[in-house]
Amino acid sequence: MSIEIKPFTQEVIPLAGELLSLRHKRNRAQFPLLPARFEDARVAVKAVNTLWEKKLKHGYAAFRDGKMVAYVIGEYTTQPWGRCGYVYLPGYALAENESAGIIQDLYAQLGDDWIKNGVFSHGFYVSAADVNIMEALFNVGLGKERVDALLDLKSLIIPKVEKPAGITIRRAGKGDNDHLGNLSHIIANSLASAPYWHPTISEDYSELKEGWSELADEKDWTIWLALNKDESAGMAGFTEQQESDTDMLAAPKTTYLSVAATKPESRGRGISTALTWHGLDQARKDGFEICYTNWISPNLLASRYWTRFGFKDVSYRLSKRVDPMIAWTRKA
């Protein structure tokens, strides 16, 4: 029987949740650090329902002989660089042994809805275990943009790292606001460089500096700071990764390596390495069993750095930029 594609509705959420729970069970067979709770269909149903409660959402489901075999749902929002549509990790599933071409067809329908609403930047989060789906999405023009990765702290061998010469490494706290704020531009500058060329508007830099400065006062954060005499040279910031209805990467006892930066003029001295190992060692002493982090894959410094510590890719954000000319060149 041929596939029938229908608009996604509230009524099919239980069917989608069942598909999602089965997909996650297959994903966990390859990546056991993923949280087990989404294998429970009730938890998966809640994740799908949470996505479907979004205001600006669209979705489609595929049926064979009246049985749902796939779905894709996504939302869109407006960012400084344009209107963006996203399919998050709970936003898709494909029944086992079904063709990944079905996901292509569902994305085509969803993407067309986005285009009609002026959404020309498309993002699709996909499990790294779903290689067939990634390949199918590559074939419709999406490419890898972000990596989500996990590290098993329980089995991690943490080496003894020599302190970089002339550098003091300590935990940041009150009074270190300026030290952290002075590092806030580094990631944005890296993302603006080749081969990513991602813009950060000028007014956002002041907000970044304010936000980074405030980390010194946050009790829920552990910030490791590297000082060259009395000037900040680098930092690495950790916080607990909170479980949520839709976060399919957050297992209990997971710490989030959220921000890390070293000044360009201070690189090559082992500062970032020392900061990271200090942070991972302390996280394990604090009872965390998993470390989560993410990076932009075209940020070559980050892509080539984090894997050295043993982080394993578990999901990706694939992206596509559609030429806005389609809004006025396509004939009815």
Distance CA 220, CA 122 (A): 33
Nearest to 178, CA basis, from 212, 220, 219:
212
289: tokens are 């069993």
pLDDT at residue 80 above 90? no
Asked if residue 69 lies in contact with residue 100, where contact means CB atoms within 8 angstroms, the answer is no
Distance CA 123, CA 112 (A): 14
pLDDT at residue 332 above 80? no
> Coil, strand or helix: which one is 318?
strand
pLDDT value of residue 201: 87
Asked if residue 114 lies in contact with residue 72, where contact means CB atoms within 8 angstroms, the answer is no
Q: Domains in the chain, start-ordered, CATH in brackets?
A: 4-145+318-329 (3.40.630.30), 157-309 (3.40.630.30)
The per-residue pLDDT for range 115-166, each reduced to its tens digit, is: 999 999 999 999 999 999 999 999 999 999 999 999 999 999 999 988 899 9
Spacing of C-alpha 7 from chain mean position: 27
Distance CA 187, CA 185 (A): 6
Nearest to 149, CA basis, from 314, 326, 329:
314
Helix, strand, coil percentages (3-state) for the chain, rounded to 5, are 35, 30, 35
pLDDT value of residue 89: 98
Mean pLDDT of 235-252: 97
Asked if residue 31 lies in contact with residue 51, where contact means CB atoms within 8 angstroms, the answer is no
